Amino acid sequence: MKSKYAHVLMLLAAIAAFLPVMAVDFVLDSYVRVRERALLQQSADAVATRVQATAYEAIASLRRILADSPSLCTPSFIANVHRQMEQSLYLKQGLVENADGVQYCDALGKDVKYSPLSHPLSVPNQTETIEVAKYADLRMPALKVTQAFGSTRKVSAFVPILAAEPDSLLSGLKPTSMVRVALTDGAEIVTVGDPKAYDGRGNVEYVTAESFAGELPIRVTAAVPFAIVRADYGDLDASFTVVAALLCGAFLILALQYVRRSDLPAFDLERAIAAGELKPYYQPVINLRTGALAGCEVLCRWEKKNGEVVPPGAFIDYAEVTGLALPMTVSLMQQVKADLSGLCGEMPDIKISINLFEGHFRDGNVVDDVHTIFANSAIGFRQLVFEITERKPLEKMAQAQSVIAGLHALGCRLAMDDAGTGHSNLAYLQTLGVDVVKIDRVFVDMIKPEGAPVPVLDGLIAMARDLGTEIVAEGVETEAQALYLRARGVVQAQGYLFAPALKAGAFRDLARALNAPVALPGLTQVSAA
């Protein structure tokens, strides 16, 4: 519910509506530009950060190879390249060429198939050069990072410019948006969206944001037509225009109605569930060893008819308190069945994690709901994982154990979410019969780039091993975190390093791309997220 201060602000807004319509339009236009530019800037910065991390990893790997290799193309040199490829999530190849570009040797013992897409550019304060190239069968262009070796040789490392599918660049943005990654000399690397409309925009106004990949000569541009984003504020604009022409009493009535509608009463959430406005989003879970898709976690988003997307933090707790979490979960499971049946039929080993609430373990009907929804679908019960958070302990343990036993009898598994943040211990997890332990991101965030040990995190991993459970790390956002976890035997992870929560179509496309056969024999499959 809104505070009394928010109510006062709404009344003041009604009074301010007496201002001329042109003034209202000017203020609203300015607000839209600032807000949308901030959203675009966040996306551009995120892409630039990922590009920077990938490029500097290639530079660091190349330097380590050369530091450990007094001569080129020797068995020790090849071994050093292979070692760096194993330690890196993205390094694809090491290549030695003559000064005239003739290939001398490479890490995989074959001709390296690549074609330059740009001229080499120097990196400020570095001795390396970078250029964009089409490499082998990669869909995304690759960066070729090159270091001279004497006057007759040059050594290069190849990494994908972005470890993700191109369409993932538009995640969280409007369908009419455009994201472009290019060198600062203008050479285009990848563009997603409608570049023709942007490049030939003429008098059409765009909201734009730019970001640079550190000192690298790489620029990320994000843009969206102003008219498109402005239209999303049409209801607000119309309200302001109307109230500017009405009597003071009408202004106050409309403002009060707006205050009432902007609250979140139970009937509004119940209506949203019935109308199918609560949608499942799917955050991929990645196998850190192979880069393949291991599964996903189903996350809930409230997509209102006006296009607004309400994050779960605004209504999940309320839904649980009011008991609406139960029908909400049923609705999500029905949509999961419709969204992923085909994919699960193609990929019988992927797992789908669905969040349950404490109320599910008191109600008991969830077992029947799961059976009714998934019994005749292509999604097998063994592909379903149901998560219960550690933050809220189960009050009625006997009933909870009965529900868990029922889910296990179907073939489903139970995961303990937010592990380490509550008050559970080894005995508690054993009593519940937990099959999967999900390590909360607060512990993953403790991992430092230099790879110093994190005793608390290592203890959680050891506890999970003692239980004999699978381990999934949440909130993985950096390569250093992924490498630290992989080195300690954690096989599965999710987080923005790989992909945000995606709509069904984008998730299916990503799943098929990640689990497609590897085109180059001899290479370890690496995550495309």
Q: What is the CATH number of the domain that holds 415?
A: 3.20.20.450
Q: Are 323 and 185 part of one and the same domain?
A: no
CA–CA separation, 81 vs 4, rounded Å?
64
As averages over each run of 10 residues, the pLDDT of the chain (529 residues) reads 41 51 69 85 87 86 89 90 87 88 86 88 87 84 88 89 72 79 84 76 82 87 85 70 55 52 58 88 94 94 87 82 87 95 94 91 88 93 90 78 93 87 68 88 90 89 89 93 93 93 94 73 39
Q: Are 179 and 313 part of one and the same domain?
A: no
Q: Are 486 and 343 part of one and the same domain?
A: yes
Q: Are 500 and 437 part of one and the same domain?
A: yes
If you write DSSP's letter for every residue of 230-283 in order, what string do you get? HHTTHHHHHHHHHHHHS-HHHHHHHHHHHHHHHS--HHHHHHHHHTT-EEEEEE
Q: Are 251 and 287 part of one and the same domain?
A: no
Q: pLDDT tens digits, residue range 152-202? A: 889 999 988 876 677 777 777 777 788 888 888 888 888 888 777 777 766
Q: Are 448 and 405 part of one and the same domain?
A: yes
Q: Is residue 255 part of a domain?
A: yes
- Provide the residue type at 45 as one letter: D
State which of 201, 229, 263 marks the end of a domain: 263
Q: Are 287 and 331 part of one and the same domain?
A: yes
| H-helix segments, 174-215 | 195-199
Number of structural domains found in the chain? 2
SS3 for 160?
strand
Q: Are 347 and 238 part of one and the same domain?
A: no
Q: Are 231 and 118 part of one and the same domain?
A: yes
CA 355, distance to chain mean position in Å, is 18
Q: Is residue 291 part of a domain?
A: yes
Q: Are 218 and 153 part of one and the same domain?
A: yes
Q: pLDDT tens digits, residue range 208-255? A: 889 988 888 888 888 888 888 878 777 766 666 665 555 445 545 555
Range(s) of the domain holding residue 291:
283-513
Q: Indicate the helix (H) or strand (E) that contains 302.
A: strand 293-303
Q: Are 303 and 389 part of one and the same domain?
A: yes
Residues sharing a CB contact under 8 Å with residue 12, sequence separation 6 or more, in sequence order: none
Q: Is residue 335 part of a domain?
A: yes
Q: Are 305 and 214 part of one and the same domain?
A: no
Sheet containing strand 218-225, strands side by side: 188-192, 178-183, 218-225, 206-212
CA distances from 92 to 147, 161, 183, 286, 524 (A): 16, 11, 21, 19, 9
For the CA atoms of the chain, what is the radius of gyration? 27
> For 377, left (φ over 0), alpha (ψ -120 to 50), or beta?
beta
Q: Are 84 and 61 in contact (CB under 8 A)?
A: yes
User: What does the angle CA 300 – CA 301 – CA 304 come to, to the nearest 5 degrees?
Assistant: 145
Answer yes or no: pTM beyond 0.95. no
CA–CA separation, 501 vs 515, rounded Å?
18
